[in-house]
């Protein structure tokens, strides 16, 4: 069926790195732009990054610009988020999500990232 499955979350110390992955299935991954959206515990949704269907363009939230990199491998139907120089305020559930037109029409179940010493 159509789904997005995130992986790679966990607990990491401040200043360290983590790489999230999102496996897509059930649809033609290479036809869709993809987002990462995060949600800190008990807080609202925060848009993080987007990548075009062909990886020709990316945009980032100011809070992660220069530290996070979104990428994709269309041959493996996989989306990534490389997170460097992690901070306590990056602690959140990270969702990958499909871009359809102007909206997000599909979300993964999320993966938790905890940044703590």
Confirm or reject binding of residue 33 to other proteins (CB under 8 A): no
Q: Which listed residue (9, 30, 47, 84) binds other proteins by CB under 8 A?
A: 47
Binding letters toward other proteins, positions 82-101, x by CB under 8 A? -------------x-----x
Binding span for other proteins by CB under 8 A among 14-22, 38-46, 68-76, 81-89: 38-46
Q: How far apart are CA 98 and CA 39, in angstroms?
A: 17
Q: Which listed residue (1, 2, 44, 56) binds other proteins by CB under 8 A?
A: 44
Q: Please list, in sequence order, all residues whose beta carbon lies within 8 angstroms of the beta carbon of residue 72, skipping any fewer than 6 positions away.
A: 29, 34, 51, 55, 78, 79, 80
For residues 110 and 94, the answer to whether their CB atoms sit within 8 Å is yes
């Amino acid at each position: 069926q159509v789904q997005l499955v995130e992986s790679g979350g966990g607990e990491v110390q401040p200043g360290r790195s983590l790489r999230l992955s999102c496996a897509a299935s059930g649809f033609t991954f290479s036809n869709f732009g993809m987002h990462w959206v995060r949600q800190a515990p008990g807080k609202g949704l925060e848009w993080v990054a987007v990548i075009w269907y062909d990886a020709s363009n990316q945009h980032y939230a100011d809070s992660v610009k220069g530290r996070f990199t979104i990428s994709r491998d269309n041959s493996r139907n996989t989306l990534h988020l490389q997170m460097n120089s992690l901070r306590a305020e990056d602690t959140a559930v990270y969702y990958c999500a499909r871009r359809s037109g102007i909206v997000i029409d599909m979300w993964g179940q999320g993966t938790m990232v905890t940044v703590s010493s």
